[in-house]
Amino acid sequence: MVTEKPVKNMNKNKNKTSGVYKTAAKVLKKVKTGSSYKTQLYQAQYPNKLLLNAVLMNVFKWERVIDVLVEKSKILEKENMDRELVYILITEMMWSKFGLVGSAKNLLAVKKYKAEFLQIMKDNDLEKLTTSTHTKVLIPRFFRVNTLLTTIEKILEKLSNLKFIKLKTPKSYAQFLELIKSEKFEEKNVFVQDIHIKELLVFNSKVKFYEIEEYKNGSLIVQDKASCLAAYLLNPEPNSTVLDMCAAPGMKTSHLAAIMQNTGKLYAVDRNKERFHIMQNMLQTYGVQNVETFNMDALTFPYYDDVKYILLDPSCSGSGIVNRVRNDSLGQNQNFQTRLKKLANVHAQLLNHALKSYPNLERLVYSTCSANHEENEAVVDEALSINGKFKLLDCTKMVKGWTNKGAPGYDSSEMCLNAIPSVDCTNGFFISVFVRRDLEDNEVAKKEENIDDTENVKEEKVVEDIEVDEEEEDVGDIEVDEEKKVIEYNEIVNKKVKKVKKQSISNSDINVKNKSEIKKNKKLKNIKVEKVFEDNEIVDKKVKKVKKSSITNMDNNLEKKSQIIKNKNIESTPLVKSKNAKRRERRLKLEKANKSSGLQTTKAKKQKKVKVEQT
C-alpha cells in the first residue's frame, strides 16, 4: 500500500486531522454524488495529488468491507462523524502501513473501534469478501516511444543496456494477448513491442521508469494502448491540418504530432484553464513543434477551412478506466445517471458540431474512456443519422485481430471498437472513425499495411535493475499511468500560475486577449493565437502591457458568452428529448427534404447567422 508518505506527513501534525484525510473525504463525497473522480482530484485543494489519489484508491479497494464494519459497529450513529471521513480513517487505521497516527478527536474516536473491527472481520470472513469482490484486472504498463525526441532503436538499445529482454512479438493478436497474460510476462525484466502500434512497448504492470533519463526528458511516455489507438486510427498524413478538440492534457495531441512527424498544423483546443497549462508544458517537454494551442470552448473555435482531421476525445464518465471507482455503485446512483445523460448530450453536441462545421473535414475519430453505451454507440448513431455526408469505417478491421466491437443493439455496433480490460489488457475505451462518404475509402487497406511484423530479437538473460515498486500494485489507477506525469506538471504549473496571477497575467490571458480580438475583428482566418512554446518570460513582458482591468473584463465577457453558448447547446442537444430537441429533429427532417430543392428553413438561416456572430 502506498501510505508511507501520509504517515510521514501526519507525524508533523499530531494534534489535528491530517489535511489529506479531510480533503480525501471531500473528494469522496463529491464522487459518491456523481462527480468525476479525476476532476475532483485535480480541483482538490491539496497539492500532493499522488498521495491524495493513493489514499482514495485504498478506500475504494476496501469499501465493501468498510460498509459492513460501519453497519455492524454503528460507528456513524455513535460518533456523529462525517461518513466519508470515517471511511477514510478506517481505511488508514486498518490497512495503511503505519495506521492512524495523531491524537485529533476524530482520529481517537475511530481508533477506539479497532479491536471491534478486527473481530467483525474475523467473524464475517471479510478479508475473503475483499479478495473475491475486488478481483483486480492487471493491465500491463505501456510506454510509447516518443519519436519526436528519440527513435525506437535507441530506446531498445537503452532497454537492452538496462538488462531488459525483448520478447518476440507474436504474429496474431490472439497470441499476443496470450503472451502478455502468460506467466512468462510476470517477470519484471521482459517486454514486447506492441503488435499494432510499433512505437508502443509493453511491460509488466509493476515496471516503472520514473528514474531513467528517457522517461524524465519525455522520450518515453506512459500511455495506455487504448488511448494510443485514437491517434493511430485517425492516422493524419504529414503536412495535413488536424484539430484536437478536447486536447488537454495533450497525450493524444503529442501522439498525433509524432504521427505527423511534427509537420503540418495541429490545433489543440481545451477549455479547462488548468489542464490547458498542463498541456502546454507537456507538449513542450515532448518536443511538439507543429501545434497551436487554444484555451477555449471547442464549440466556439473558429472554423478553419483547412482542417482535414479531427480528434474528439471529450470528458466522459471515465467508467472504462480500470480500478477507478466501483462501477456497480456508480451505476445505481441516480446522480450518476443524470450526469451520464448530460455527458452524452454534450458529446453529441460536440460531434455534430465537428461534422457540420468543417467544410474540408475528411476523417474524424470520436473516442471515450467510458464503458457506457449512452456516451458511445448512442452518440455515434445519433450523429450519423443527422450527418449524411459521413459514414463509419470498420475500426476492428484497422486493428488486426481485434474482436471487441461496439455494444450490440446499435446501428453503429459492428463498425466501432471497444477495448475491454479483461480481454484486451488495456483500460476500457471506445473508438469510432467517421469518414466523408465521397472519399475513396482506401484508408482501411492503408492502415492494415501499416502493421509491421516486429523483428525477432535474441533473448538475453541478464539482471534487471529497474526500480519496481511492489506496493504500487495495491493502488488502483485513475488514468494514473498517463497522468502521474500530468500531476507532477500540475504542481509545477500551479506554482507558476500563482506567481503569474499575482501580476495579473498568465499565458492564457494572452489567449483570452487574442480571442477577444478575434471576436472584435471577426477576421477569423487571420487570427494568430499564442504559439504553445512561447517562453514564460516573453509572455510576461507582453502581458505587462495589458491593463489588469481590461483583461478581467474580457475574461468575464468571454466566460459569460461561452456559458450562454454552452447552455444553449445543451438545451438543444438531440439526446434530450425536450421541446427544443423535438423541434430540432423536425427542422432537420425538413432541411433534409428541402435540400434537394435548394430550399433552406428560416431557422437554418437564422442559425447560420448566429454561428457567424458567435465566432
Ligand X SMILES: C[S@@+](CC[C@H](N)C(=O)[O-])C[C@H]1O[C@@H](n2cnc3c(N)ncnc32)[C@H](O)[C@@H]1O
Least distance to ligand X, CB of residue 397, Å: 24
- Given candidates 63, 92, 199, 313, which one binds ligand X under the rule CB under 6 A? 313
Query: Candidates 108-116, 197-205, 256-264, 311-319 — which segment interacts with ligand X by CB under 6 A?
Result: 311-319
The contact mask relative to ligand X for 338-367 (x = CB under 6 A, - = no) is ------------x-----------------
Per CB under 6 A, 252 contacts ligand X: yes
Residues 125-154 that bind ligand X (CB under 6 A): none
Count of residues that interact with ligand X, criterion CB under 6 A? 20
Report if residue 272 touches ligand X, rule: CB under 6 A: yes
Contact 427, 226 (CB under 8 A): yes
Cβ proximity to ligand X: between 84 and 194 the closer is: 194
Does residue 493 interact with ligand X by CB under 6 A?
no
> Which of 439, 443, 434 has the alpha carbon at shortest distance from 309?
434
CB of 310 to ligand X, least distance (A): 12
DSSP 405: B
Stretch that binds ligand X, among 194-202, 247-255, 331-339, 605-613 (CB under 6 A): 247-255
Let me know the angle formed at the C-alpha of 448 by 445 and 450, rounded to the nearest 5 degrees: 115
Which CA distances in Å does 295 have to 61, 280, 551, 559? 36, 10, 15, 12
Pick the catalytic residue: 228, 246, 369, 425? 369
Cell 478538440 locates to 245
Indicate whether 248 belongs to the interface with ligand X (CB under 6 A): yes
Distance CA 100, CA 345 (A): 44
Cross-strand pairs, 393: 433
Binder among 28, 149, 180, 299 for ligand X (CB under 6 A):
299
**Binding segment for ligand X among 78-86, 214-222, 283-291, 295-303 (CB under 6 A)?**
295-303
Q: In this complex, which beta carbon is closest to ligand X, that of residue 136 or of residue 566?
A: 566
Q: Could you tell me the sign of the dihedral formed by the alpha carbons of 371, 297, 566, 37, in that order?
A: positive
Calculated CA dihedral for residues 482, 484, 486, 491, nearest 10 degrees: 180
Residue 141 CB contacts under 8 Å (≥ 6 apart), including other chains: 202, 203, 204, 205, 206, 207, 208, 222, 481
477: closest CA among 98, 185, 222, 217? Answer: 222
Would you say 206 or 353 has its CB closer to ligand X? Answer: 353
* Three cell numbers, residue 478: 485513475
Interaction between residue 302 and ligand X (CB under 6 A)? no
Q: Does 259 sit near ligand X (CB under 6 A)? A: no
CB of 143 to ligand X, least distance (A): 16
Q: Which of 249, 302, 320, 476 binds ligand X (CB under 6 A)?
A: 249
Instruction: Say how many CA atoms lie within 13 Å of 549 toward its Cβ.
Output: 0
Sign of CA dihedral 129, 131, 132, 138: positive
| 363-368 vs 241-244, strand pairing mode | unpaired
* Residue 369 designated active-site: yes
Contacts to ligand X from residues 38-97, by CB under 6 A: none
| Residue 484 makes contact with ligand X by CB under 6 A | no
Which residues have a catalytic role annotated?
A: 369
Positions that interact with ligand X (CB under 6 A): 227, 246-252, 269-272, 275, 297-299, 313-315, 350
